[in-house]
DNA sequence: CCGCGGGCCTGAGAGC
DNA sequence: TGCTCTCAGGCCCGCG
């Protein structure tokens, strides 16, 4: 499911239920997601107050009073929902009266706020891991992540620098979390379209021979900022799995200009092109060959 | 070091 | 209806 905007929406949705509340009870209903849970996973969570809920790239990070950090990744199909009230009365087993499919409810946090926070993930590409805060810098999952695309340090100069020596397409470079951390297939396609840059273009063409950013690099950074901010404002994109934590859908999918729009007319005024699709590095690329150069 | 392709999972949808 | 095939928002790993 989730690229940066969806993860950010989930973070905001979980804040009310989790920040400042204690994890009264935690359950991992299977022994693994993408990776096995740590043996002491539940023990390190129960009784801990969540002092803050942050995001790095596509990771959610819950700060615990113990000094641990709970790292959570949604993979392709992970989602959280917050259930308030009635279910809390249910003793023992983690159970909710709402009549939905619970087959893939894999993790539950019962919070002192009175809310149950439930992680559902059919494909189980998601995972959770507890790390001591003072060991975050050595965490392999986080090491090597590039800049936050909405952060201050991400600008045309930096993007040009990290693309300068790449021997790959611009599309592949933007999907590489070492270059910029948080974009996925949808928002890369949309940003390239908005910047009118071809996904096939060599990544290195964002920099001059001296390594200075080209106008293309500036356009691309502007487009990335715009598309991410608009997507966050729209609650993210709901294609299959993404839900806000209150169960509502995001609606940025209605604003896609190329993603999943193969065969449709290009929306750029006066272009008259047709949105095409092809495969790059095993992933679908959607673009307008006429206006993206 | 870098770039690429395979694999991990389940489920939805298309085609027969 | 039901089977088979393809594809899906991510990312680790092993190979060349």
- Nearest nucleotide to A239 (CA to C1') is C9
Q: Are residues A194 and A68 in the same domain?
A: no
Q: Are residues A121 and A188 in the same domain?
A: no
- Nearest nucleotide to A179 (CA to C1') is B2
- Residue A292 domain-assigned? no
Interface residues for strand C (CB within 7 Å) are: A 1-3, 6, 34, 57-58, 73, 75-76, 123, 125, 140-141, 175, 177, 184-186, 236-242, 250, 282-284
Question: Count of domains in chain A?
Answer: 2
What's the CATH code of the domain at A237? 1.10.8.50
**Domain span including residue A26:** 4-138
- Residue A145 domain-assigned? no
Considering A138, A169, A194, which residue would you say is the last residue of a domain? A138
For position A241, what pLDDT does the model report?
Answer: 74
Q: How many Å apart are A240 CA and C1 C1'?
A: 25
Q: Are residues A124 and A182 in the same domain?
A: no
**pTM of this prediction?**
0.95
For position A232, what pLDDT does the model report?
Answer: 97
- In tens digits, chain A (293 residues) has pLDDT values of 699 999 999 999 999 999 999 999 999 999 999 999 999 999 999 999 999 999 999 999 999 999 999 999 999 999 999 998 754 333 333 444 444 568 999 999 999 999 999 999 999 999 999 999 999 999 999 999 999 999 999 999 999 999 999 999 999 999 999 999 999 999 999 999 999 999 999 999 999 999 999 999 999 999 999 999 999 999 999 987 778 888 888 999 999 999 999 999 999 999 999 999 999 999 999 999 999 99
The set of strand B positions with any atom below 7 Å of a protein CB reads 2-12
Whether the beta carbon of A124 falls within 7 A of nucleic chain B: the reply is: yes
- Residue A151 domain-assigned? no
Q: Please indicate whether residue A3 is annotated as part of the active site.
A: yes
Q: Measure the CA–CA gap between A193 and A287, rounded to whole angstroms.
A: 6
For position A99, what pLDDT does the model report?
Answer: 41
- Residue A144 domain-assigned? no
- Residue A146 domain-assigned? no
Nucleotide B12's nearest residue (CA vs C1') is A240
Q: Are residues A8 and A134 in the same domain?
A: yes
Q: How many Å apart are A260 CA and B13 C1'?
A: 14
- Residue A148 domain-assigned? no
Q: Please indicate whether residue A2 is annotated as part of the active site.
A: yes
For position A244, what pLDDT does the model report?
Answer: 84
Whether the beta carbon of A172 falls within 7 A of nucleic chain B: the reply is: yes
Q: How many Å apart are A199 CA and B10 C1'?
A: 30
What's the CATH code of the domain at A59? 3.20.190.10
Whether the beta carbon of A168 falls within 7 A of nucleic chain B: the reply is: yes
Q: Please indicate whether residue A171 is annotated as part of the active site.
A: no
Q: Are residues A202 and A92 in the same domain?
A: no
Q: Are residues A165 and A259 in the same domain?
A: yes
For position A277, what pLDDT does the model report?
Answer: 96
What count of residues does chain A have?
293
Q: Are residues A57 and A91 in the same domain?
A: yes
Considering A87, A112, A138, which residue would you say is the last residue of a domain? A138
The set of strand C positions with any atom below 7 Å of a protein CB reads 7-13
Q: How many Å apart are A171 CA and C11 C1'?
A: 16
**Active-site residue, from A44, A58, A110, A194:** A58
Q: Are residues A177 and A264 in the same domain?
A: yes
Nucleotide B4's nearest residue (CA vs C1') is A281
- Residue A221 domain-assigned? yes
Q: What is the 3-state secondary structure (H, E, C) of chain A?
A: CCCHHHHHHHHHHHHHHHCCCEEEEEEECCCECCCECCCCHHHHHCCCEEEEEEEECCEEEEEECCCEEEEEECCCCCEEEEEECHHHHCCCCCCCCCCCCCCCEEEEEEECCCEEEEEECCCCCCEEEEEEHHHHHHCCCCCCCCCCCCCCCCCHHHHHHHHCCCCCEHHHHHHCCCCCCCCCHHHHHHHHHHCCCCCCCEHHHHECCCCCECHHHHHHHHHHHHHHHHHHHCCCCCCCCCCCCCCCCCCHHHHCCCCCCCCCECCCCCCCCECEEEEECCEEEEECCCCCC
- Residue A70 domain-assigned? yes
Q: Are residues A88 and A182 in the same domain?
A: no
Q: Are residues A134 and A168 in the same domain?
A: no
For position A92, what pLDDT does the model report?
Answer: 35
Q: Please indicate whether residue A212 is annotated as part of the active site.
A: no
Q: Measure the CA–CA gap between A74 and A105, rounded to whole angstroms.
A: 13
Q: Are residues A113 and A186 in the same domain?
A: no
Q: Are residues A78 and A175 in the same domain?
A: no
Count CA atoms closer than 13 A to A22's CA, side-chain side. Answer: 7
């Amino acid at each position: 499911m989730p690229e940066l905007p969806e993860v950010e929406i989930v973070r905001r949705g979980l804040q009310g239920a989790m920040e400042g509340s204690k994890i009264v009870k935690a359950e991992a209903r299977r022994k693994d997601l993408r990776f096995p849970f740590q043996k002491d996973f539940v023990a390190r969570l129960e009784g801990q107050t969540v002092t803050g809920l942050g995001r790095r790239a596509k990771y959610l990070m819950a700060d615990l009073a113990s000094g641990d950090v709970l790292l959570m990744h949604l993979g392709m199909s992970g989602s959280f929902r917050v259930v308030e009230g009635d279910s809390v009365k249910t003793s023992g087993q983690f159970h909710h009266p709402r009549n939905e499919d619970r087959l893939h409810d894999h993790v539950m946090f019962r919070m002192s706020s009175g809310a149950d926070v439930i992680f559902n993930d059919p494909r189980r590409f998601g995972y959770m891991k507890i790390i001591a805060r003072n060991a975050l810098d050595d965490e392999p999952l986080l090491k090597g992540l590039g800049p936050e695309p909405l952060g201050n340090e991400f600008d045309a100069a930096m993007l040009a620098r990290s693309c300068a020596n790449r021997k790959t397409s611009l599309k592949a470079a933007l999907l590489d979390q070492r270059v910029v951390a948080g974009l996925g297939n949808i928002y890369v396609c949309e940003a390239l379209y908005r910047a009118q840059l071809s996904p096939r273009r060599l990544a290195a063409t964002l920099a001059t021979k001296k390594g200075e950013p080209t106008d293309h690099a500036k356009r691309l950074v502007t487009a990335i900022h715009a598309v991410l901010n608009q997507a966050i404002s729209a609650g993210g994109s709901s294609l299959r799995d993404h839900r806000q934590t209150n169960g509502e859908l995001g609606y940025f999918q209605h604003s896609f200009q190329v993603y999943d729009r193969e065969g449709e007319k290009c929306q750029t005024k006066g272009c008259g092109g047709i949105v095409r699709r092809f495969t790059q590095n095993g992933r679908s690329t959607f673009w307008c060959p006429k206006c993206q150069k």
